[in-house]
Amino acid sequence: MNYITITYWNSSDVGGMLYHNVPYKNKVYIDTTPALCDIEVKEEGIEDGDKNFIPTFRKTQKLYKCDLVCSPEFLEQLYFIQQHDHIQVTLKNDEKQIVSDWGVTIDEWIFGGHVVKCTFQFTTQYILQTSLQDNMRSACYIPTIPQVTDIITNNSMTFIDPTNNGVVDGSRYIVNKTIGLDDVFMFTGGVWVAQNEAIFSAIVFCANKGYNYYFDGVSWNAYPRLLTVTRSGGNAVCKGWGLPGTFVQLQLKSGLTWTDVGTPVLVESFKSIGIRYACPAGMYVFRVRSYSHGCNYGFSNQIKISF
């Protein structure tokens, strides 16, 4: 069976139910295979003196369509999904897509109205590109919640015995849990108190690590990060993580100097395919820098590797 996973939640109450200050998420598994119906491109621009069209804004989105046979109760749930401001779809290849538009259409009622054939479709946030720097600055990723001291786990001694491990009253930590959702916790009055700040797109600066951390709906991730460097057919293949919709440029260290190598790629390609760089046998030190139009997000960790 080809299941897709729909995770949805809201930043505030929906009709007086759930959500308010609670990091609660709904999740459903649907036995269907989405068909990529269309790729929509919207663009605006100007003409130069030679009548050449110069795009200043371009947005590319994927439109998926899914057929489903379900009960009336589940149909109601599909309609309820579109009431939420955060919808994430995980496809069968574990690719996660953030949904910008969601719609449901009833095709046919069968078996006396006990079963319905329906279609739901969704548009994903994909690529946003512009040459107008002022427009992009409004979309820059900046910290959205107060900074934290460090990132720890809930089975570390810092979390288990904070008083004897240097935790100051009033300090805040990202706590990655072995069970349950990651969150930001404040140590106050001798106890840890969850801040319920693990909401999609939240960004926080971690003082001890020196990185901003981004919450992707599942966990907190420092960005940008170079995770693996492998070799295939004489090429170094570098993969990692970054902010959605940003660009990643691979860099190579020579002495004390860092040099851009290869072509910049979208972070989605960096995560799935990787950046390839032709190199003979030898010792190399790689990192990446991350940016969007008008915003720079700094450099990743370094990986030193010998082929």
Coil, helix or strand at residue 136: helix
pTM of structure: 0.48
- Give the fold, CATH level 3, of 223-306: Immunoglobulin-like (2.60.40)
Looking at residue 229, what is its pLDDT?
94
**Distance of alpha carbon 175 from alpha carbon 183, whole angstroms:** 6
Alpha carbons 27 and 5: distance in angstroms, whole number: 7
* pLDDT value of position 132: 39
**Amino acid sitting at position 117:** K
> In whole angstroms, what separates CA 130 from the centre of its chain?
20
CATH 1.10.3470 assigned to 3-131 = no
Write out the chain's pLDDT in tens, 307 residues: 567 889 888 776 666 665 655 567 788 988 888 877 777 777 666 665 566 666 556 667 788 888 899 999 999 989 988 888 788 888 776 677 778 889 999 999 998 888 999 999 988 865 544 443 333 333 466 777 889 999 999 999 999 999 999 999 999 999 988 776 689 999 999 999 999 888 877 888 898 888 888 888 888 888 889 999 998 888 899 999 888 878 899 999 999 899 999 888 888 889 888 999 998 888 999 999 988 766 778 888 899 998 8
pLDDT of residue 32: 84
Domain spans of the chain, in order of start: 3-131, 150-221, 223-306
DSSP labels, 138-166: TT-----S--BSEEEETTSHHHHS-GGGT
Helix, strand, coil percentages for the chain (3-state, nearest 5): 10, 55, 35
> In this structure, what token pair is assigned to residue 211?
């990185």
Closest CA to 301 of 284, 288, 292: 288
Count other C-beta atoms under 10 Å from residue 65's C-beta.
16
pLDDT given for residue 134 in this prediction: 35
